Amino acid sequence: MTATLSKFDTPEALVAAVCAGERRAIAAAITSLEAMSANAPDILKAMQPHLGHALVVGFTGPPGAGKSTLVNALIKHLRDAGRTVGVIAVDPSSPVSGGAILGDRIRMTAALNDDGVFMRSLASRGALGGLSPAAVRVIDAFDAAAFDIILLETVGTGQTEIDVAEVTDVRVVISAPGLGDDIQAMKAGLLEIADILVVNKADREGAERTVHQLMGALSIRAPGRPKPPVLKTTALTGDGVTELLEAIDAAGAPVIAEGVAGRRHRRARYLIARAAADVVAQRIRDGRDGALDKLADAVLTGELTPNDAAVKLLGK
């Protein structure tokens, strides 16, 4: 081992170096946290007092909407403003863009050769198909490393958007014209979580129509909630990105005002809930001691409702 690596011998030493912004330490911590290696619990523990400072912004939407390109454009704006950026791309594997992490690296060129930016791609998903817990641990590593803002890119599918809503402070939902059935391609769940709606590829025909469709679709949102702004961007040229950043900061202001403690608490709650859900899912798959079979029989005979059975299963 080199001298540099041996500095990170203990989780505490590693976290101290992460907090000092040492890139090798950040990389080492992320690798350990992503794989949940043996020292990961100690790293997470040592990081706890340093969390909650970064603004976490989620970018989600259908494959190929231009999320990575838009994130790349935002990185440039943020760096010009002197803000440091952590970037996490989860499961970047859409058939539209040919998928894969290498593609994201190519699109996110703003991150190259700049100590103020750190980027990580994660290919994995959670046991229930949602955001992988690894992604949340990487958010924490960036947060501990004192990046000002953390950008999280995810494809919006199923459970993922619920998770994104929980772990991010500001949620940007990205759409684009020409993604097939436009709004139908965008799940209602995505519209529900959005703080900001973006129609990217504004240079393309049909962008205005997509804006109007989104505005119409927003009328189904729960009453009383403020309507998110609908912005147009052309990620390729950077058009509209200044306005998007302004909207992100406006949406983030109340979250920053809420304070560090409140945000740390919220994220810890999410982690516990996710871990519990994964444990339960695993137990059910394992079919522990035939309990599930007995309960299934009771549901078939009408003795129990599926809900009652679930409560009994968990109560064991």
Ligand X SMILES: Nc1nc2c(ncn2[C@@H]2O[C@H](COP(=O)(O)OP(=O)(O)OP(=O)(O)O)[C@@H](O)[C@H]2O)c(=O)[nH]1
Strands (E), 4-111: 55-61, 85-90
Q: Is residue 66 part of the contact set for Mg ion (CB under 5 A)?
A: no
CA–CA separation, 118 and 108 (whole Å)? 11
Chain centroid to CA 204: how far?
Answer: 27
Residues 6+ apart with CB under 8 A from 29: 14, 15, 18, 43, 47, 141, 144
- What are the DSSP calls for 147-190, one per residue? -SEEEEEEE--THHHHHHHHH-SEEEEEE-TTSSSGGGGS-HHH
292 binds, among Mg ion, ligand X, none (CB under 5 to 8 A by kind): none
Provide the minimum distance between the beta carbon of 100 and ligand X in the complex, in angstroms, as a whole number: 8
Provide the minimum distance between the beta carbon of 190 and ligand X in the complex, in angstroms, as a whole number: 13
Stretch that binds ligand X, among 33-41, 94-102, 134-142, 207-215 (CB under 6 A): 94-102
- The answer to whether 136 touches 142, Cβ cutoff 8 Å, is no
Give the residue, chosen from 11, 44, 46, 69, that forms a contact with ligand X under the rule CB under 6 A.
Answer: 69
65 binds, among ligand X, Mg ion, none (CB under 5 to 8 A by kind): ligand X
Stretch that binds ligand X, among 41-49, 60-68, 129-137, 187-195 (CB under 6 A): 60-68
Stretch that binds ligand X, among 29-37, 59-67, 187-195, 305-313 (CB under 6 A): 59-67
Between residues 97 and 213, which has the closer beta carbon with respect to ligand X? Answer: 97
66 binds, among Mg ion, ligand X, none (CB under 5 to 8 A by kind): ligand X
Q: What residues pair up with 234 in beta bridges, in sequence order?
A: 239
CA–CA separation, 295 and 275 (whole Å)? 24
Phi, psi dihedrals of residue 176, rounded to the nearest 5°: -160, 150
Give the residue, chosen from 7, 77, 79, 94, that forms a contact with ligand X under the rule CB under 6 A.
Answer: 94
CA–CA separation, 57 and 38 (whole Å)? 29
Rule CB under 5 A: which of 69-98 touch Mg ion?
92
First CA to last CA distance, the chain? 48
Between residues 87 and 141, which has the closer beta carbon with respect to ligand X? Answer: 87
Task: Kindly state the number of chain residues that form the binding site for ligand X, as judged by CB under 6 A.
Answer: 21
Stretch that binds Mg ion, among 66-74, 178-186, 202-210, 282-290 (CB under 5 A): 66-74
- What are the DSSP calls for 284-316, one per residue? HHHTGGGHHHHHHHHHHTTSS-HHHHHHHHHH-
Give the residue, chosen from 19, 101, 185, 236, that forms a contact with ligand X under the rule CB under 6 A.
Answer: 236
* Burial of 157 from C-beta contacts in 10 A (0-12 / 13-18 / 19+): middle
201 binds, among ligand X, Mg ion, none (CB under 5 to 8 A by kind): ligand X
Rule CB under 6 A: which of 184-223 touch ligand X?
200-201, 203-204
Give the residue, chosen from 60, 68, 175, 200, that forms a contact with Mg ion under the rule CB under 5 A.
Answer: 68
235 binds, among Mg ion, ligand X, none (CB under 5 to 8 A by kind): ligand X
Query: Site residues (CB under 5 A) for Mg ion?
Result: 67-68, 92
Query: Site residues (CB under 6 A) for ligand X?
Result: 63-69, 92, 94, 96-97, 99, 107, 155, 200-201, 203-204, 234-236
